[in-house]
Structure 1
Amino acid sequence: MPITVNLDVMLIKRKMKSKELAQKIGITTANLSILKSGKAKAIRFSTLEAICEALECQPSDILEYKP
């Protein structure tokens, strides 16, 4: 898939665990894991917004296009 999810990188930069992020944004750790692995087919803007707010980052810090 040409869209790469760099959520792990941002979690490391912010010294935050997946479980903590999932609790902050109100999704299950299983759904966060699917997103982190790049297996998700879509992401809601509200979820992306919550992730960016919690990690103090921009969407481009999380999602990257690689042709």
Structure 2
Amino acid sequence: MGMTLRTSEEQAAALRRQAAAEGRSMQAVALSAIDEYIARRTHKSKVDSALKRVVAEEAEVLERLKDA
């Protein structure tokens, strides 16, 4: 599926420089950045869910530690 991505002149120039530095196309660098962003957000969501679960499951222990 295609899409058009509109960037500022500064973003386009930075992307062009990064692509040249890596010897890759601007598209490849942009797609890599999107993939990394999605992976980070997915990981953060999983960590947040795990933290909420642990806090809920261990609320009593955490309360006792707070008073220790």
Shorter-normalised TM-score: what interval?
0.3 to 0.5
Greater relative contact order, per chain length (Cα 8 Å cut-off, separation 6+): 1
Q: Normalising by the residue count of structure 2, what TM-score does the alignment of the two structures yield?
A: 0.34
Q: Normalising by the residue count of structure 1, what TM-score does the alignment of the two structures yield?
A: 0.34
Q: Which has the higher strand share?
A: 1
Q: Which has the higher helix share?
A: 2
The structure with the largest alpha-carbon Rg is 2
